[in-house]
Amino acid sequence: MRPTAQVATAIDLLGNEVGQMNLPVHVLKTLRAIQQCRTSALGGHVDACSSCGTLHISYNSCRNRHCPQCQGHKRVQWIQKREAELLPTVYYHVVFTLPAELNPLCLESPRLVYGALFESAWQTLQKMGAAKNLQLGMICILHTWGKTFHCTHTCIA
């Protein structure tokens, strides 16, 4: 069953306000792609049933990696693969976020900034684990919005 509310509906409701939010160009392009996904704006094709002749119009998808309509099945597949890799232990999802004021520095020296972020996150978690006499491991994943810079780092105590 398809959800009644779509991300595209929320974008539609914002209307022209989206353009006034001072969002980066890549974010605006993503929002536009999601808004136009599976609509006539992206074109489509007509399928005809060979038995009864019923016509069905299918609109093209945006294929954007952030689009819930296009990438939802890939997300489910990814989650299933990760679940199959889990060890029989307790897991926690912890998020460390940099303030937006550091964005220029991140663009200027990404290895330095993100390396420091990962190292400080690991030190923080190690300290917390030591206080409770726990042996910890950590998998870090860097999520960025606009660059294709993906860095993973693994630390094991």
SS (H, E, C) 34-103: HHHCCCHHHCEEEEECCCCCCEEEEECCCCCCCCHHHHHHHHHHHHHHHHHHCCCCCCCCCCCCCCHHHH
My answer on whether 21 and 64 are in the same domain is yes
Among 42, 72, 102, residue at a domain's last position: 72
My answer on whether 62 and 117 are in the same domain is no
What is the SS3 assignment for 111? helix
In a domain, 77, yes or no: no
Query: Is 152's pLDDT higher than 80?
Result: no
Q: Which pTM does this prediction carry?
A: 0.47
Query: Is 39's pLDDT higher than 70?
Result: yes
Range of the structural domain that residue 131 is part of = 87-156
Please give the average per-residue pLDDT across 111-126, as a whole number: 94
Q: How many domains does the chain have?
A: 2
C-alpha to C-alpha distance for 67 and 63, rounded to whole angstroms? 7
My answer on whether 27 and 58 are in the same domain is yes
C-alpha to C-alpha distance for 54 and 48, rounded to whole angstroms? 6
How much is the pLDDT for 1?
A: 47
Work out the percent of the chain whose per-residue pLDDT is above 70. 89
Residues 6+ apart with CB under 8 A from 111: none
What is the SS3 assignment for 11? helix
In a domain, 62, yes or no: yes
Least confident of 88-92, 108-112, 150-154: 150-154
In a domain, 36, yes or no: yes
